[in-house]
């Protein structure tokens, strides 16, 4: 059950930079991403960097419309768990319905990284377990933070991108 943000906000002593992936493949995709950015900044922290928008083929389930994806850097004092709770609330408010794994959706917001932290909980895994396998994550992430180090592999994101075997279409929008 989700509660209002003020009920479960756990603040950290110092600011952390979290990297989030936003995606949409239903309806007015740009509007859903824009609305999500507005709510993220209003409730969860300060957005310090945004990648370009990328049009990407769906991953995991190929018989659906292309996604618009974007990665942001978010300066936050929230704990990883509170950040996830806030993200889930925003997704629901914007009309997210979870019907099937990797199915089409109006909005999807994933935590890719949370500082250098590694989190391995049932409902929360950081870094995102598929980050290093997905071009649609790495391309926009490398646009804003190519020198960022993967906290488990100890490898720069730009190196992970060059070694990537995922060849699904990822096109930067002008």
Q: Among residues 29, 105, 134, 135, which one is catalytic?
A: 105
Give the pLDDT confidence of 77-98 residue by residue, as tens digits. 999 999 999 999 999 999 877 7
Q: Among residues 29, 35, 96, 135, which one is catalytic?
A: 96
Residue 96 falls in the annotated catalytic set: yes
Residue 63 falls in the annotated catalytic set: no
d(CA 3, CA 9): 10
pTM of the predicted model as reported, rounded to 2 decimal places: 0.91
Predicted local confidence at residue 61, as pLDDT: 67
**CA angle 22–80–2, rounded 5-degree value:** 80
Predicted local confidence at residue 105, as pLDDT: 86
Predicted local confidence at residue 60, as pLDDT: 67
Contact 142, 135 (CB under 8 A): no
Residue 98 falls in the annotated catalytic set: no
Which one-letter DSSP state was computed for residue 131? G
Residue 28 falls in the annotated catalytic set: no
Given pLDDT bands bounded at 50, 70 and 90, which one contains residue 5?
very low
Predicted local confidence at residue 6, as pLDDT: 46
Q: Among residues 29, 35, 85, 110, which one is catalytic?
A: 110
Predicted local confidence at residue 167, as pLDDT: 86
Give kind and range of the element (H or E) at residue 118.
Answer: none
Q: Among residues 29, 85, 108, 134, which one is catalytic?
A: 108
Give the pLDDT confidence of 96-113 residue by residue, as tens digits. 777 666 667 899 999 999
């Amino acid at each position: 059950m989700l509660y209002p943000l003020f009920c479960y906000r756990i603040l950290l002593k110092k600011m952390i930079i979290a990297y989030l992936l936003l995606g949409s493949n239903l309806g007015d995709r740009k509007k859903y991403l824009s609305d999500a950015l507005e709510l993220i900044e209003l409730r969860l922290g300060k957005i310090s960097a945004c990648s370009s928008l990328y049009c990407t083929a769906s991953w995991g389930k190929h018989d659906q419309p292309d996604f618009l994806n974007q990665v942001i850097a978010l300066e936050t004092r929230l704990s990883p768990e509170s950040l996830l709770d806030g993200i889930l609330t925003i997704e629901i408010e914007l009309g997210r319905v979870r019907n099937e794994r990797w199915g089409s959706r109006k909005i999807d917001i994933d935590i890719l990284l949370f500082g250098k932290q590694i989190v391995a909980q049932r409902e929360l895994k950081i870094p995102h377990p598929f980050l290093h396998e997905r071009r649609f994550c790495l391309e926009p992430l490398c646009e804003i933070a190519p020198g960022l180090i993967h906290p488990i592999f100890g490898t720069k994101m730009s190196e992970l991108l060059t070694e990537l075997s995922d060849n699904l279409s990822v096109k930067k929008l002008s």
